[in-house]
Amino acid sequence: MAENKFSGDAATKEMRQVAEDLNIQTIWDRELLQEPHCGFGTLGICCKNCNLGPCRIDPFNPDGPKVGVCGADADVISSRNLLRHITAGAGCHNDHGREITKAFKLTAQGKAPGYQINDEEKLRVVAQEYGVKIEGKNTQEIALELADKIFAEYGQQEGELALIQRAPKKQKELWRKLGVMPRGIDREIVEAMARTNMGVDNDYRSLMRHGLRVALGDGWGGSMVATELSDILFHSPRPLESKANLGVLKEDQVNVLVHGHVPVLSDMIAQASQDAELLKLAKAKGANGINVAGVCCTALEVLIRRGVPVAGNFLQQELALITGAIEMLIVDLQCVLPSLPNIASCFHTKVISTNPRAHFPGTEYVEFEEEKGYEIAKNILRSAVENFSNRTPAKVHIPKQSEGLVPGFTTEYIFDMLGGKTRFTYRPLNDGIIMGRIRGIAGVVGCDNPKMQSGETHIKLVKELLKNDVLVVQTGCAATACA
């Protein structure tokens, strides 16, 4: 094993060694088996978009092919490939927003027991941004009208997205000038797939402009919809204390991991874990409680709202199972490694998949329905509790490392916090930037990659930014790595 691929995190190093001792293959091992990676693929100059190919461009051999069979050069091929990558990621994020909107509408209709509108003030603010007239309407009426307007925006063909109007005026003017202002959430996804078909868009500049349009439709569309509606449904986060790393797992409790991206599932699991009936059953099985912990992005959703600890980020999901202490892993979609059922089979761990878009061979499939959310969550957790007695103590190895953290700093809270008890303002932050004490604000987000030390890239970058008086805002696996 190449030493430079080892994470600087002590818990990860420890569990990597346990995996090696047990002869369990992990993401690092599989990455090494792929080396050396295909040079054509790494450079983005291979194409299999149509059956004329597959084709590849050879940039090193003077006599090698410089265009594909259709005539597309390296710029066109690499641009089409990048645009399709952008589109796939945006599609996942936008689907996330669609799923939250569905749960939000069911809640407004009174069809989703266990869910409720928890932030009425934010509901009114967002509704007005979508043009909903709130005077004389109750919470449910406002929520229902807002849900319908958001769904309409997914299919919108012309115009602009409602939430993109939050962007600075000059930024919006630039986007309009460049022709990258998204017209609808789903429209840009479909157009991207059409543009990247053989013989359609053959100018790399045009392809990359549409890549920007798709990305903006994600960030100011589906992703922002998901964020705002999650706050309205599950309440806007406030700073709280919790812990992160594999050491949050408990040897004397039923350990349940939630993994994925959509909080309608993970929040309900967190709620149901405190159910008196389930806690009584856990005690009868010899456990001192039910410990829910998170992995990847859904971990941060229940962290910032409920203080649920984070067991790990993307590269630690396999290692969490290798502790031998996980009764159940519950997944929905995105970032869920297909290797997890194989690793779980080495232990007593059950893996439950719950989303109709994401099926995993080797798992038990229990479709999550918001209309029966609490009931389904209880049934899933009951199975986890009953699995506690199947744990093999000799196989349990939980690292001791867990670090304290304080998450939950939203734009709304920062506005309140900087102003203190007497007024709400960004003045202290603005003054710091104007006077040069703060040189800027940087968002550092994104996933880990086994090609690099787990989390070390993010950590080094954040340390350097802080050292140079740049404030850092984080989310995702980058935030977990720094935590």
Question: How confident is the model at residue 414, as a pLDDT?
Answer: 87
Q: pLDDT-based confidence at 7, cuts 50/70/90?
A: low
pTM for the whole thing? 0.94
Number of helical (H) and strand (E) elements in the chain, helices listed first? 20, 12
Question: How confident is the model at residue 129, as a pLDDT?
Answer: 98
End-to-end Cα spacing for the chain:
26
Span 264-288, mean pLDDT? 97
**463 phi/psi in degrees, rounded to 5:** -60, -40
The 3-state DSSP class for residue 311 equals strand
- Of 2-6, 98-102, 275-279, the poorest mean pLDDT is in 2-6
Question: How confident is the model at residue 318, as a pLDDT?
Answer: 98
Q: Do 55 and 66 touch, CB atoms closer than 8 A?
A: no
pLDDT > 90 fraction of the chain, expressed in percent and rounded: 89
Span 437-463, mean pLDDT? 88
Span 357-371, mean pLDDT? 96
DSSP state of 126: H
CA dihedral 249, 481, 166, 335 (to 10 degrees): -70
The per-residue pLDDT for range 28-71, each reduced to its tens digit, is 999 999 999 999 999 999 999 999 999 999 999 999 999 999 99
Question: How confident is the model at residue 6, as a pLDDT?
Answer: 60
Span 453-458, mean pLDDT? 77
User: Is the predicted pLDDT of residue 3 greater than 80, yes or no?
Assistant: no
Question: How confident is the model at residue 226, as a pLDDT?
Answer: 98
User: Is the predicted pLDDT of residue 1 greater than 70, yes or no?
Assistant: no
Select, from the ranges 51-65, 373-387, 469-483, the one with the highest average predicted confidence (pLDDT): 373-387
Q: How far is CA 340 from CA 173, 271, 321, 322, in A?
A: 46, 25, 8, 10
The 3-state DSSP class for residue 103 equals helix
In the chain, the domains with their CATH numbers are: 97-234 (1.20.1270.30), 242-404 (3.40.50.2030), 406-482 (no CATH)
The mean predicted confidence, pLDDT, of the chain is 95
Instruction: Return contacts of 27-32, CB within 8 angstroms, 24+ apart.
Output: 27/315, 27/318, 27/337, 27/339, 27/450, 28/1, 28/450, 29/1, 30/339, 30/450, 31/5, 31/450, 31/451, 32/1, 32/2, 32/5
Q: Do 258 and 291 touch, CB atoms closer than 8 A?
A: no
Q: pLDDT-based confidence at 5, cuts 50/70/90?
A: low
Cα 226 to Cα 230: distance, rounded to the nearest angstrom: 6
Cα 95 to Cα 200: distance, rounded to the nearest angstrom: 26
The per-residue pLDDT for range 185-229, each reduced to its tens digit, is 999 999 999 999 999 999 999 999 999 999 999 999 999 999 999
Between residues 53 and 292, the one the model is more confident about:
292
Span 254-261, mean pLDDT? 98
